[in-house]
Chains A and B, each alone.
Chain A
């Protein structure tokens, strides 16, 4: 078992009598871009939330560089999380949101880090606008800025392309490619084979809460759809 990277050791998650995940065992090395695919209800988002430390496994454990994110602050600071929700405050401006999170992460020179983050996602001109006035694409860009503000080693992405138009998808895809090339470990959840097929170097498929397929990946969206098709029966 490696000491660095992300390790999911026989993790299960139950919600009352419903079994969302069943004994998932997965080791993700540093720098990998893992595509976590599966039908709706397969347990992908649940697994991602366990990795992020937002949710606690019913059994088993999650380790980040050998540490439990539920207990260890350093393990949590290595994680960035981008979902289809922004996890930001609608009534604050873009700058206020990022400054708030920069302070929570105790970043040095928070204002400077926020300026750089806004510049990176192309939102410097909109820094004083309230988040509720942003379009969906702008919200997602700001959410990416929040998720990468503290330069996390591991980026968890939960269907980040949801609700984005084609130009926004292309822009986000480009930013994810840059993050991959910079050496960040990325785990991206998708149920759409067109998203992430060209970014991933490993494919993991979940079906009804179980890990059913795991392979190195280098292919197109069509190849991904073909590979995943046998496991796409599992609507829950």
Chain B
């Protein structure tokens, strides 16, 4: 996943004149494009072990709440995605001539909220598509339209942070991301056992 994200950043580096004005125009979009593609790669593998070993049946028979399976997978996906993002950030800074500054902490906040949204929705759709034959094709088809609102807020929020605008303009996007993550986690906990049943 990390290598794929770096590859995407590298491709954009050679495609566009990065640095300077490009940082504000296309930087956030480049960053989140890399993260979304990496996320899709990771999500396709979310339930691969359970599918290959048929061990999801054993997890379904366990006495706990089935939503715990979703939560465990979602947190694992979130951790992996955050790790990929932290690896990519220095390279992003390098390609876009970005110097470390006060924006780093708010940027991390946007990354965490955005990744939570991707993981929350992505894990549910990964579970749904894991039982289908064309899962690698279906997952992006199902997921990308659903995460579009969150993705727009991620890109806008990242742009504002990189422009050092931390005030009233940023708050609605952060609120949108937090609400999206909460709504999707709640919905997923309710729907997960129906998504994976035969």
Mark A residues whose CB is within 8 Å of B.
Answer: 15, 49, 52-56, 73-74, 76-77, 79, 81, 83, 85-91, 101, 104-106, 146
Which A residues are CB-close (under 8 A) to B54? 83, 85-87
Closest to B55 in A: A87
Distance A44 CA – B52 CA, assembled complex (angstroms): 23
Q: How far is the CB of B109 from chain A (nearest CB, A)?
A: 33
Mark B residues whose CB is within 8 Å of A.
Answer: 49, 52-55, 57-65, 197-198
Closest to B197 in A: A56
Closest to A146 in B: B58
Contact A104 B57 (CB under 8 A): no
Contact B61 A81 (CB under 8 A): yes
Contact B60 A54 (CB under 8 A): yes
Q: A15-B198, A56-B197, A87-B58 in contact; A76/B63 too (CB < 8 A)?
A: yes
Distance A73 CA – B193 CA, assembled complex (angstroms): 14
Q: How far is the CB of A229 from chain B (nearest CB, A)?
A: 31
Contact B198 A55 (CB under 8 A): yes
Contact A88 B63 (CB under 8 A): no
Partner of B62, one of A15, A76, A89, A90: A76
Distance A131 CA – B57 CA, assembled complex (angstroms): 18
Contact A89 B49 (CB under 8 A): yes
Contact B61 A91 (CB under 8 A): no
Contact A101 B58 (CB under 8 A): yes
Distance A56 CA – B196 CA, assembled complex (angstroms): 11
Distance A105 CA – B49 CA, assembled complex (angstroms): 20
Please list 8 pairs of residues, one from A and one from B, whose beta carbons are closer than 8 Å in the complex, sorted by A's number: A52-B57, A53-B60, A81-B57, A83-B57, A89-B49, A90-B52, A104-B59, A105-B63
